[in-house]
Amino acid sequence: MGKLLQVLNEIERLNIVSMHQMRKRVNNLTKPLGSLGRLEEIAIRLAGITGSVQPSVGNKAIIVMCGDHGVVQEGVSAYPQEVTGLMMANFIRQSAAVNVLAHQAGAEVHVVDIGTVLTDLPEGVIQRKVRPGTANMAKGPAMTKEEAVAAIHVGIDMASELADKGIEVIGLGEMGIGNTTPSSAMTAVFTNHPVERITGRGTGINDEALAAKAKVIERAIEVNRPNPGDAVDVLAKVGGLEIAGLAGVILGAAARKVPVVIDGVITGAAALAAFRIEPRCRDYLFASHLSVEPAHRIVLDELGLKPLLHLDMRLGEGTGAALALPVIESALQLVSKMATFEDLGIPSPAPEEDEFGLAVQ
């Protein structure tokens, strides 16, 4: 736990002075006040995250955490567990959806095996396996608390390594057949919403399988009785290795002042866990899109995040994050390249403010 506690102590609140300086710049661009909408909010928050009035997100990466789930034994997915490994190979061949979208966005893709059952990994996969898949959470804990913490540490290390390489924004992705089941279970525990309201179709299961999936989640919660006030306990009992790893990425990135773009319901569950561990990390998060998975809206509402895109997606992998990265970069391009009223010799319509954003009388 030492590394985790150290990282939590390093997560700072947003830099208010930098945010006010950025707001002043945004308000003096040659446009009506507020007319760039949420792009203005993005630029201002990035200034607060980085502590700079000239933030950059040009160096982008997407981390795809991969893990397997013992709960697939309960028939919760439309696909067999072997698909996890097949998709990892697809990522390495640069031929999955996230690869296409990441390439378009100019982002690196890092594929991490944090907990698959594979023994022979495709070349290029980053090997950080904590254990070969989780146990069946419908019968007992998915993993031990020590393993959950170890998975969080993997994510922290990944974020730190990318920050050391100069990565300025991290998108989150995942792969693990069956992982909407632990994500839904975690969301139910953290938010106290009924399981049937949270449970979605994941890989596309039918009505009968959906009802059975909800019962599996209810049984897992009843058997394990995770403590909603202890996020590590929730991760260990009804979570997943890739979910814990992604929570670690969020915490590690926040400690390094690197913004994080979450994807769909699985990365959302990871974000909720990270938020319960350290609430300050929420300020470093951007919600890329709203998934059609019902748990996702509940997660985003709980986090107080507004999705940038509404595209009825439910793929995962980091595809939503990849699509949102250019939107986030566009916000900074506008701020850095647009002229100001001062440049044109025109009085600004914005009220004059001091360095703390207070109106000057």
Which residues have a Cβ under 8 Å from the Cβ of 214 and sit 6 or more positions away?
195, 196, 199
Looking at the chain, how many residues does it have?
361
Query: Which residue among 147, 168, 317, 329 is the active-site one?
Result: 317
Domain ranges of the chain: 60-327
From CA 249, how far away is CA 263, in angstroms rounded?
13
For the entire predicted model, the pTM comes to 0.95
65-74 pLDDT tens trace: 999 999 999 9
Residue reference for tokens 């992705």: 173
The overall average pLDDT reported for the chain is 95
317 is catalytic: yes
Tell me the two tokens of residue 318.
């980091």
73-88 pLDDT tens trace: 999 988 999 999 999 9
Q: What's the CATH code, domain 60-327?
A: 3.40.50.10210
pLDDT of 353 reads 62
* Per-position pLDDT tens, the chain of length 361: 788 999 999 999 999 999 999 999 999 999 999 999 999 999 999 999 999 999 999 999 999 999 999 999 999 988 999 999 999 999 999 999 999 999 999 999 999 999 999 999 999 999 999 999 999 999 999 999 999 999 999 999 999 999 999 999 999 999 999 999 999 999 999 999 999 999 988 778 888 888 999 999 999 999 999 999 999 999 999 999 999 999 999 999 999 999 999 999 999 999 999 999 999 999 999 999 999 999 999 999 999 999 999 999 999 999 999 999 999 999 999 999 999 999 999 887 777 665 545 444 3
From CA 48, how far away is CA 284, in angstroms rounded?
9
311-324 pLDDT tens trace: 999 999 999 999 99
From CA 22, how far away is CA 335, in angstroms rounded?
9
